[in-house]
């Protein structure tokens, strides 16, 4: 996620860090070069001037803008739903940690059981982040889990499901020991159910992308449009044709690239959700619930990118 203060109006025009320009500069430079060549040669191809009216480009441009807006709305809906699901997960983790700390009553000799349970809760968002990004979770789970649980979680198809199940088994054991009032157990189970619902929602987004044919059609149409539009602009715009073509290409290529970036909200690209930062915040809050003071600091952006 790009995190930075909003610059002034002038700096907003000139800033490069955090812009989409780094992703589209190749097709943008190519389209500007083509527009410049068309202008220099007067719209002639092998000696024959290609006459194209601006009217069809106006209609095509309006259609492209409508469909790009629709696609970007769909992609942003995926992005926002993903953020909402992670917000629900954060709430469930905090609630369950608080309930574990305040509703459980183990004997003094078993005081570490509360700490172990809270650490298991911390491990759940870490496991989900790695599961969604396809990375091994052991590096973040090793400080939080015992060796046997770590081995079983890392070997599971879904580490998050395995972590939720392991936490549920631990809560059941505490209930059987009489450390949790049976009346309060369903309240704690509700938080585990909320975590499972967040996992299912994230899996739905990750495994159901925007149809590839739709994205491909828009991308190809934009590319062809940006290559041909100088022919329609040349007679009316003259030497200003490359400049106008550059503005059009920047707009269409940029909108296409932004939609592609936010379509996959769980990735590691700059515009994806900062899942590592969210996991760190959850870890800090839950460890402070235990009264710990030696907690890691929140993650900070690197070059305006918060991962």
Per the CB < 8 A criterion, the answer to whether 210 and 72 are in contact is no
Q: What is the pLDDT of residues 223-245, one digit of tens each?
A: 999 999 998 888 888 899 999 99
The list of the chain residues with pLDDT below 70 reads: 9, 46-47, 108-109
For residue 112, what are the contacts with CB-CB under 8 A and spacing of at least 6?
none
What residues are paired with 45 via a beta bridge?
48
- The label of the residue with tokens 């460890």 reads 287
State the pLDDT at residue 109: 65
State the pLDDT at residue 10: 73
State the pLDDT at residue 279: 97
* R_g (Cα) of the chain, nearest Å: 27
- The label of the residue with tokens 């073509």 reads 245
Cα gap 64→299, rounded to integer Å: 39
The whole-model pTM stands at 0.90
CA neighbor of 125 nearest in space, from 282, 290, 284: 282
Cα gap 192→161, rounded to integer Å: 10
Per the CB < 8 A criterion, the answer to whether 305 and 275 are in contact is no
Per the CB < 8 A criterion, the answer to whether 137 and 153 are in contact is yes
Q: What is the pLDDT of residues 50-77, one digit of tens each?
A: 777 788 888 888 989 999 999 999 999 9
Per the CB < 8 A criterion, the answer to whether 262 and 79 are in contact is yes
Q: Which pairs from 4-9 meet CB under 8 Å and 24+ separation?
A: 4/301, 4/304
State the pLDDT at residue 250: 94
Per the CB < 8 A criterion, the answer to whether 86 and 275 are in contact is yes
């Amino acid at each position: 996620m790009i995190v930075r203060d909003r610059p002034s109006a002038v700096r907003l025009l000139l800033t490069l860090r955090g812009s989409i320009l780094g992703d589209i500069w190749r097709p943008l430079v190519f389209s500007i070069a083509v527009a410049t060549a068309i202008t220099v040669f007067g719209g002639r191809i092998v000696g024959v001037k290609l006459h194209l009216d601006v009217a069809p480009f106006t209609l095509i441009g309006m259609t492209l803008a409508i469909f790009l807006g629709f696609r970007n709305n769909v992609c942003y809906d995926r992005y926002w739903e993903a953020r909402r699901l992670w917000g629900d997960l954060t709430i469930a983790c905090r609630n369950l940690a608080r309930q574990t700390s305040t509703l459980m009553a183990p004997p003094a000799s078993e005081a570490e059981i509360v700490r172990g349970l809270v650490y298991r809760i911390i491990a759940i968002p870490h496991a989900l982040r790695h599961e969604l990004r396809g990375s091994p979770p052991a590096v973040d789970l090793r400080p939080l889990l015992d060796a046997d649980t770590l081995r079983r979680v890392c070997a599971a198809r879904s580490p998050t499901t395995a972590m939720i199940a392991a936490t549920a088994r631990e809560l059941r054991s505490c209930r059987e020991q009489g450390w949790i009032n049976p009346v309060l157990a369903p309240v704690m189970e509700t938080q585990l159910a909320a975590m499972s619902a967040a996992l299912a929602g994230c899996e739905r987004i990750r495994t159901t992308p925007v149809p590839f044919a739709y994205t491909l059609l828009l991308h190809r149409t934009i590319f062809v449009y940006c290559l041909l539009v100088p022919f329609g602009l040349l007679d009316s715009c003259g030497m200003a044709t490359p400049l106008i073509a550059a503005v059009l290409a920047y707009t269409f290529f940029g909108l296409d690239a932004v939609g592609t970036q936010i379509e996959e909200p769980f990735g590691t690209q700059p515009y994806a959700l900062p899942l590592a930062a969210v996991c760190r915040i959850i870890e800090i809050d839950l460890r402070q619930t235990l009264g710990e003071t030696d907690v890691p600091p929140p993650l900070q952006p690197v070059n305006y990118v918060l991962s």
